[in-house]
Structure 1
Amino acid sequence: MTDLSEICLDVVSGSLTDITPEGWSARLMFRGDGGLQTYVYHQDMQGKYGDTAVASDFTFQPGQYHHVVIQVALNAPAEEPNGFIKVWVDDELLIEHSKLRFRDRLTPESDIQRLMFNTFHGGSSPEWAPRMADGSYKTDCAFFDNIALTPAFER
């Protein structure tokens, strides 16, 4: 069995990780207001915590299942900013990043190597924890199934 700490050593995410020529990541974040946004770490990102885009005018509905798809296409050749990310919810395109240069070198290490799936409330302090209107902590619950990593497709 592989130690999780060994797998996650080279994951590009958060302020403690430097972008390397082969390092990148694309993530979704469920917002506290029920919304959805991306976090994208790439060679030309503007912020310390990656670039983000929020799905405007969208909120997940409690008690309702949603079909979420994220498509990631890496740039090739390395100098071309032709990578992209698209995010659909229930077959509606909500977020799109284009002209991305995920990697600065085309090597096996810069290819998609793994899918890491986890959920957490973000941040590194208690203010990120879910709370009731009165400020007390609450328990949130989400169900996930049919998670798949598939080859390239057109939508």
Structure 2
Amino acid sequence: MTLRLAGIISLLTVGAAPCAEPILLTESFNSPTKSGLAEQLLQHKHVALAKSAGPDGSDAIRVTYVPYPRGSERVVSRFPLGRKVTRATLSFDVCFDRDFDFRKGGKLHGLGPQKPVTGGNPRSPERWSARLMFEDKGHARTYIYDQNPKAKYGIGNKTRGAVFSKGVWHRVDLQVALNTSGNSNGFVLLVIDGKKVASSDHLNLRGKDSQRTLIQTFLFSTFHGGHDPSRSPRDAKEKPVKVHALFDNISVSEGLVTSPRIQKGK
């Protein structure tokens, strides 16, 4: 009897597959799509379907970064998630073209509440956002609008070294955990290619506990950011130039998830 019980316990604890975290959003850009995200993004004038260009040879999307007086033209879109949660992970694949100019940095995607705050707009108890940035020479950083009344723009921490290479597919996970009201116990963790590269801890992301402040919005957000032409992408002769990046396999999962690395050769 003891041996039989031990065998059952062994099957339950060792042989069982781990439970997957609930998926709140998934989009691979292969037809037919069901999420509605692809249709929404492809309406933007700087987003195009890239057939067979994904890391596994499937379809992806291609974003064009067009220089203008404040960096590059904004490519932004907001999309509601399937549920409202306190912890979630945004995951996506990205490949910056070989001629991409990181310049002085720019925005990448993130998560937010019912009404996220970005663009230097005023913070409020029900408004926050958590995104990441690409930085000069392939660095990255967390980029967060929290409840700090003294900060006009986002705060965050930069990676020690370069984490993005041109012409290479990378897997990005942005893990977001909300604080409880009145406490600075939230955090944002950036994982690239399975490695933790930057984090922002002890965050007061939201000013109140409510349905409106839960994680419930995906922020597709990518552009060279800033307030003057020096942030625009440029060529080797320092002339403003259009550059491109590919995105694929966007998902948002409830809980904190670390994706496997993209296999070499894909």
User: Which interval holds the TM-score relative to the shorter structure?
Assistant: 0.7 to 0.9
Q: Percent identity?
A: 34
Q: Structure 1, residues 30-80: CA drift from partner, whole Å, max 9, x if none?
A: 12422211211111365321212111112411111011100000012x011
- Which residue of the partner structure matches residue 112 of structure 1? 215
Q: Distance in 2 between the 1:120 and 1:39 partners? A: 14
CA-CA distance at 1:154 after TM superposition = 5.4
Unaligned runs of 5+ in 1: none
Query: 1:147 is paired with a residue of what secondary structure?
Result: strand
CA-CA distance at 1:14 after TM superposition = 2.2
Q: Distance in 2 between the 1:148 and 1:40 partners? A: 20
Q: Distance in 1 between the 2:233 and 2:199 partners? A: 27
Q: For 1:139, give the aligned amino acid.
A: K
Q: Distance in 2 between the 1:46 and 1:85 partners? A: 20
Q: Distance in 2 between the 1:114 and 1:10 partners? A: 8
**Equivalent in 4, 13, 18 of residue 118 of structure 2:** 13
**RMSD after superposition:** 2.3
TM-score, reference length from structure 1: 0.86
Which structure has more relative contact order (CA 8 Å, sep 6+)? It is: 2
- Determine whether 1:85 maps to 2:193: no
- Determine whether 1:47 maps to 2:47: no
Count of aligned pairs? 149
- Which residue of the partner structure matches residue 147 of structure 1? 250
Q: Distance in 2 between the 1:37 and 1:154 partners? A: 18
- Which residue of the partner structure matches residue 199 of structure 2? 96
Query: 1:40 is paired with a residue of what secondary structure?
Result: strand
Q: Structure 1, residues 74-131: CA drift from partner, whole Å, max 9, x if none?
A: 012x011110000011011001111111111111111112101121111233222111
Q: Distance in 2 between the 1:72 and 1:36 partners? A: 16
Which one has a bigger Cα radius of gyration?
2
Q: Whose strand proportion is higher, 1 or 2?
A: 2
Of 84-93 and 59-68, more deviation after overlay is shown by 59-68
Q: Structure 1, residues 117-146: CA drift from partner, whole Å, max 9, x if none?
A: 121111233222111232112232111111
Unaligned runs of 5+ in 2: 1-39, 41-76, 81-113, 259-266
**Equivalent in 141, 163, 173 of residue 37 of structure 1:** 141
